[in-house]
A and B are shown apart, each in its own frame.
Chain A
Amino acid sequence: MAATSEPHGSAFSAAELEFLAEDETIEIVPNLRMDPLNFISGDFGPFRPQIATQVPLWLAVALKKRGKCTIRAPDWMSVDAFPIENLTQVLEAERDSEKFQPLPFHYVEISRLLFDHAREDIPDIYMVRSLIEDIKDVRFHKIGTGLEIISKERTYALRLKNLSAMEANIVRPFVTKALETFYKLSSSEMIQESDHISNRQPQAANRGPRRQLKDR
């Protein structure tokens, strides 16, 4: 947690995003007996051997490191389980469509934490890992091409549908600066325009019709 981000470059550091992701709940199967834990962040347990229970990821990882539980990989991390959306399908859909597929908000961080600390608990780990890598790559590429749209059309608001925490954080500095610049340029353009036009219109009305809400 040592690395804290500068305010306003990108708002959060990777470590801070991981910190947030560690609060997501995950199912574990403990192999010890332990009373319920009454934390500031909530109550968890009781823990009984072989009885599955929901805990935050950080707790799961802490127990896992000490060999006190196995972690159940979340449903979305399966290669081809019927009937739930699985990674193979997600990757295909991600490649076929311009839209982003719904994935957990912290999918990058969660999968990374599980790969690092619970590799033997994830079925088909190599497959899962490469699928998530591929999905990540396809999405990042899409983000890149998607950003070109900002420059082609006037954009005053951007909808980032299904973008994950890490992805949003990475594009944040660029997107916010770009939108800001367009916003400023369009206002100064208007000042020039209004200098020439005798019948001057209020700024907002002038800017209005051109604003596009991009569904990205």
Chain B
Amino acid sequence: MESGSGEASAADDYESLISTTDAELLKRAWRNEKAAPEILKFELNLVQRSRQQIQLMEEMVDDFNKNGVDPLTVSLYQMDLDRTMFLLRSYLRTRLQKIEKYVFHINKTSELWNRLSKQEQKFANRCDGDLKHHLEQSVLSKLPDQYQSHVRQSAASEDDDMVPEPQLDTYVVCRSKRHLGAFQLDDGGEEPVNIEADDLYALPYKSIKPLVESGQIDLV
């Protein structure tokens, strides 16, 4: 399943690559990440490309300044650069916020763990350690033995019931660029929702998750 969805998104990536600019793709990734309750797959290639473009543009602006290019032109290039950097920063920061919030859950769920970049994994490990250390130092060590776990309420708990998890049945507002036709919400039984192009819908995240992952639907 994992590799299957990977291929699909790669093909989709290619398709959108010829029709859309990276700035547009980055904007989409940012919007989706901000609106989705859980952490999404890290857009490795897109982030790398955006970084390269930013670097290139920074060098260009430096050259402009040295060569005495018209200051108005330079300031406009700088504005474009600032906008792209804002998107990239905000995208990465939104992910870090999610990692901080759900660090214990992400660390024990390999599917989620694999969605992080190498740097994010490093961050998650440190965050996990620090948070655990802090909880133990400040509270848990002072409690009776059976209440000392940072993931369980007590030794009697059957599973990790103190680990915050993202609410996947939360509703999100989404929009598709294409007509998707009748879409089955979940579990079957219910009448399908007819998803038209460019209309907004409030739907449970859980049921449209595959469409978000394959890039067929955008969160707004």
Contact = CB atoms under 8 A, between A and B. Distances in A.
A157 B189 CA distance: 14
B80 A176 contact: no
Contact of B97 (A7, A12, A20, A208): A7
A159 B86 contact: no
A183 B193 contact: no
Contacts of B54: 40
Given A168-B173, A176-B171, A208-B190, A23 B27 contact: yes
Contacts of B169: 180, 183
A41 interface: yes
Interface residues of A, number: 49
B73 interface: yes
B90 A4 contact: yes
A161 to B, nearest CB: 5
B139 to A, nearest CB: 25
Given A34-B72, A183-B169, A157 B203 contact: yes
A213 B98 contact: no
Contact of B73 (A35, A156, A162): A35
Contacts, number: 128
B84 A168 contact: no
Contacts of B27: 20, 23
Question: What secondary structure prevails in chain A residues at the interface with B?
Answer: mixed
B220 A165 contact: yes
Contacts of B120: none
Interface residues of B, number: 53
Given A19-B86, A39-B80, A208 B200 contact: no
A84 interface: no
Contacts of A63: 76
A40 B85 CA distance: 10
Contacts of A115: none
A1 B90 CA distance: 10
Nearest to B50: A40
Interface in B38-83: 50, 53-54, 57, 70, 72-73, 75-77, 79-81, 83
Interface in A67-108: 68
B188 A11 contact: no
A187 B59 CA distance: 58
Given A23-B27, A42-B21, A58 B187 contact: no
Contact of B76 (A4, A59, A176): A59
Interface string A56-70: 001100110010100
A204 B207 CA distance: 13
A42 B23 contact: yes
B83 A58 contact: yes
Contact of A204 (B24, B50, B190): B190
A200 interface: no
A181 to B, nearest CB: 10
B185 A11 contact: no
A205 B202 CA distance: 21
A185 interface: no
Most chain A beta-carbon neighbours within 10 Å: one of B53, B93, B191, B202: B202
Contact of B172 (A20, A176, A207): A176
A208 B193 contact: no
Interface string A28-39: 000010110101
A58 B199 CA distance: 26
A204 B23 contact: no
Interface in B7-59: 21-24, 27, 31, 34-35, 37, 50, 53-54, 57
A161 B173 CA distance: 12
A39 B202 contact: no
6 contacts: A4-B93, A40-B21, A40-B50, A40-B54, A168-B200, A183-B169
